[in-house]
Amino acid sequence: MRLLQTSLAALALSTAGLALAAPAHADGEVNIYSYRQPDLIKPLLDEFTKETGITTNVLFLDKGLVERIQAEGANSPADVILTVDIARLTEAKEGGVTQQVKSDVINKDIPAAYRDPDGDWFGLTTRSRVVYASKERVAQNEITYEELADPKWKGKICTRDGQHSYNIGLIASMIAHHGEAEAEKWLTGLKNNLARKPDGSDRDQAKAIFAGECDLALGNSYYVGLMMTNEKEPEQKEWAAAIKVLFPNANDRGSHVNVSGMALAKNAPNKENALKLMEFLSEGTAQKIYAEQVYEYPVLPGAEPSEVVKSFGTLKPDPLPLVDIAANRKKASELVDKVGYNDGPAQ
């Protein structure tokens, strides 16, 4: 136990973003390595501790999570990995930092389409890569991803970095649907329609629309809910009020979706507590928190999205298998560089 505490203390000194709570008692903790932003998972972890008495210690990383666990080896304090995007889930499995989980509770709650066949990872929520559109300057209420390359939108689109995992997932889906050559043409057209160099977060794209810098942007659906209800930063409510959510390809294949998910770390020192947390995250209470407070789509069958999310409209998910998205991510990343996407529009 002293070794674990020492390891976590060392992490606090060496890694920015570590939020470490003091353990309630010697065997009542679980250590989480997370790519998910702390404010998004805090309501879930607070409820888990309330129900179980188990303290949660969180190490937040924006990159290098797998490499971190690999370097720590058998003495890694990591119990549970929380992450976004199918690529990062498969990266963890392929990096050898996960272990198989066989849980009747999890398998009952999470449909097979959202879990690894071997039990190395599990999807917890889905989110759609939607189009934010200016309420004032965009009349249409329907759009396709393909249309974003139409010259009529020249100088009117904003996005974050093309290499960000959210955009790579979308580009990978375009490769899966259309082939690499057509996806390259599309990405080049999208680049030519950018209002500026890709920059900022998804929330910043909504802010740019509010400021009149662009008329359309790519963003994840749940950010709209977070902005609409942000009491700490009320200016974000103005950004959200300036946009409407368009679900691309709603009249054909459906909108691109990705997942947030979890995995059991390979050398989890608190395995029993880790499994308790994973089962908690798959069940009804946590799935409701994901829906009501994080504004994502729960994967639990029968669980409803929040009223805020329902107000965006109806999501028709693209049925493209997540493994097909993961398989095309390397090509997607290469295309971003090939077309010079992050250089922004040609002058």
* Interatomic CA distance for residues 236 and 255, integer angstroms: 25
How many angstroms separate the CA atoms of 225 and 295, rounded? Answer: 6
Residues sharing a CB contact under 8 Å with residue 81, sequence separation 6 or more, in sequence order: 32, 33, 34, 65, 69, 92, 97, 98, 262, 263, 264, 265
The closest of 267, 295, 292, 275 to 68, measured between CA atoms, is 267
Q: What is the pLDDT of residue 18?
A: 40
Q: Which helix (H) or strand (E) element contains residue 60?
A: strand 55-60
Place of tokens 């930063």: 233
Q: Are 335 and 171 in contact (CB under 8 A)?
A: yes
Rounded to 5°, the CA angle 150-151-154 comes to 115
Write the single-letter amino acid at 253. Answer: R
> Phi and psi at residue 140, in whole multiples of 5°?
-70, 150
* Rounded Cα gap, residues 203 and 136, in angstroms: 18
For the chain, the 3-state helix, strand and coil shares in percent, each to the nearest 5, are: 45, 15, 35
Is 223 assigned a ligand-binding role in the annotation?
yes
- pLDDT, residue 27, reads 54
pLDDT by residue for the chain (347 residues), tens digit each? 333 433 443 343 333 334 433 333 335 999 999 999 888 899 999 999 999 999 999 999 988 999 999 999 999 999 999 998 898 999 999 999 999 999 999 999 999 889 999 999 999 999 999 999 999 999 999 999 999 999 999 999 999 999 999 999 999 999 999 999 999 999 999 999 999 999 999 999 999 999 999 999 999 999 999 999 999 999 999 999 999 999 999 999 999 999 999 999 999 999 999 999 999 999 999 999 999 999 999 999 999 999 999 999 999 999 998 889 989 999 999 999 999 999 999 86
Which of 127, 185, 44, 119 is closest to 309 using CA atoms? 127
Q: CA angle at residue 36 from 231 to 172, to 5 degrees?
A: 115
Residue 132 marked in a binding site? no
* CA 12 – CA 61 distance, rounded (Å): 12
Structural domains in the chain, sorted by start? 2-125+258-304 (3.40.190.10), 127-256+310-343 (3.40.190.10)
Going by their DSSP bridges, the two strands 98-99 and 257-265 should be labelled as: antiparallel
C-alpha–C-alpha distance, residues 6 and 36, integer Å: 24
Q: Are β-strands 55-60 and 29-34 bridged in parallel, bridged antiparallel, or unpaired? A: parallel
Distance CA 327, CA 90 (A): 10
Q: Write down the residue that tokens 């649907």 correspond to.
A: 177
